[in-house]
Chain A
């Protein structure tokens, strides 16, 4: 019987099976940021094991609070920085060159088809967009990853979601993934991998695929994954040209990884998006979704465009297109955070930053910032934010605040109107 892409990658990396359902796999990359890694570093030091299994496979970034906002966050950055220097970790992105982890690591070519990747962060599943098996892990697993380059995981079963149909104007990858989470629920894929397939996904840019895979965790999945294709090859070409010589050769190599036609799935869901409208969340769970139309008029105090879900160039382009020539409403404030320095520069070159500034947005440096309610746009009690991020848990962007998740297009339209509204009204795509 055939295998799914996740099974193929997983099986080719198994090095041990210490008990029935637990497998130890070899890792191709371990990513680190300044929130979850310091305690792992300190624990390794306390155990007399301050080592790194392979400095070319361990990458680190300061991204969550950048620049540091107080002595506590400065200390977290310092622990990571000192550790990276001590071990001569080449790929360490300090303040000034840093960006949101799940945006900057792919941009540097560190996520590749067939890779196994872990990170102490739940949205590590983003890298599945490249056909990698990528899982967010806890501190003990991160420690073992840093120390030995291995991780213990359950054998992954795959849920396949076939996305078909023709997307309407104003509907984006974010609307699709929110609708998928609404469809299967926040526990709909617990301990499984979600394979996003079908023509709609094949036609998506890498940025859009990352938006999809990024939120797989919100349905409980260990990882989201997309089959690598020519779009993947094109995105990675600068990093892989020496290895493969031609794009066709690279594609051939990657396609061996793709799911076999007779692979077996835990479940297959057909999702026709032809009638899907732009959606947004209304509660404290990412599966609480409604059509934007049904939320029309909901009062908003802040619009936030950014994060590892929707802070990439595609996202900024879509938002700027809607904002162009408009001012945001006096009744709210807008914050936009390009996810990496490269995206920031691109946005500058394309004139998008000017559009945001003229519309009345505050443009921040690349950082997680308000997404986790630590800096750059924390909400006051009772405030609501229209946000392109991925989590609307209670208090996520500040104590007593409400987060409505939506696409950058809907967020931009909302910023102009002053309340939640449908981007179609504003000539959105």
Chain B
């Protein structure tokens, strides 16, 4: 079997009993789905569990898959719904925000605390590491609706129409959420951006 076969063809083959087709799908999508979930829920252990559950649902629901549907739309709808359910289950926990503790269970400080001053940002490597950590926290600080759109658009390169199909809202709503997400990220990263530029 060629490994460059279309996802949809592979899924149909799996429906017909070709386990190898599912293995190709798994090798193709397991990592990006894992990173989507990880960035959505912000917790590695939870992401591992949800990743497993997502592909179990693909297996269990395989016969319900229709060739007309784009496989990634179906797959990320499953993954996204699991993430949404998970975040709703833990909704009693305080949302992360710039001025809220990053972890309700400790005194680790706020996002503002981890944004270093110019003096602290002494070299590019350090700046990059801190910038990525800041970025991850900024993603977590986005509202759920903005976060999912941002992740699918920027990390998975999904067209807005497909994101709309996954999320189940009109395309214009997706675009609006994306604008809000970018604006919030811009505000949260603004101070750090200058630091990164100034680093050697």
Q: Do A and B come from one complex?
A: no
Residues of A within 8 A of B (CB): none
Residues of B within 8 A of A (CB): none
